[in-house]
Amino acid sequence: MKPAGPPTWTPTAEDFFADIVGGLAGTLQDVAGLEGAAGFVASVGTELGRQVSRAYGADTDCSDAEAIAAVLVDFKRRVGGSFQVAEITADQIVLTNGDCPFAQRVEGRPALCMMTTAVFGRVTADANGYARVHVDKAIATGHDHCRVVIALRRDDDIGAQGHEFLA
């Protein structure tokens, strides 16, 4: 078969790998269910979070919430997100995001949100000793942005929902 002209789809390497990850997440959700798929993604995200902690030096005792937030925002910016600090208190960090690194590939694939949850949780726990991460709004579930709450202390009044991470 001889092509008629240049292809209409010319992906970059980033597009190609994002398509692969998006497709894998969708297939995992179809086969293993949302919870099973989220578990697989979380495993990868936890390892990636360890790498991020080492790269930023965040795996040392650093309970400064502003420094932790700066690491999380910078990392996500480097991989195509646009996270911003919405709020920082002694008890929690709240980040928002308008651009998912997986772009439209994340829609209907909330298991991919476990990548953010696991990376943020691992990095924060490595630096702070504890984290509980809850994605309470997500582009993957139809919101126009993501909102992630990271509790820095064990307290059922703040961040009672989410996934816990310990150093």
Taking the chain (167 residues) in consecutive chunks of 10 residues, what is each chunk's mean pLDDT? 69 86 91 93 94 82 85 93 95 94 88 95 95 95 96 74 92
Would you say residue 30 lies in a domain?
yes
Region at 103 (left for phi over 0; alpha for psi -120 to 50; beta for the rest)? left
8 A C-beta contact, residue 15 and residue 96: no
**Domain presence at residue 22:** yes
| pTM: predicted TM-score of the whole model, two decimal places | 0.88
Q: Cα separations (Å) of 56 from 35, 52, 62, 73, 144?
A: 30, 6, 11, 12, 30
Task: Identify whether the C-beta of residue 49 lies closer than 8 Å to the C-beta of residue 58.
Answer: no
Helix (H, G, I), strand (E, B) or coil at 86: strand
Asked whether residue 108 is assigned to any structural domain, the reply reads: yes
Domain that holds residue 119: 13-166
Classify residue 1: in a domain, yes or no.
no
Indicate which CATH number applies to the domain containing 139.
3.30.1380.20
Q: Confirm whether 5 is domain-assigned.
A: no
Structure token digits, residue 82: 């646009």
Contact 137, 143 (CB under 8 A): yes
What pLDDT, on a 0 to 100 scale, did the predictor assign at position 159? 44
The answer to whether residue 7 sits within a structural domain is no
Domain count, the chain: 1
pLDDT at residue 125, as a whole number: 95
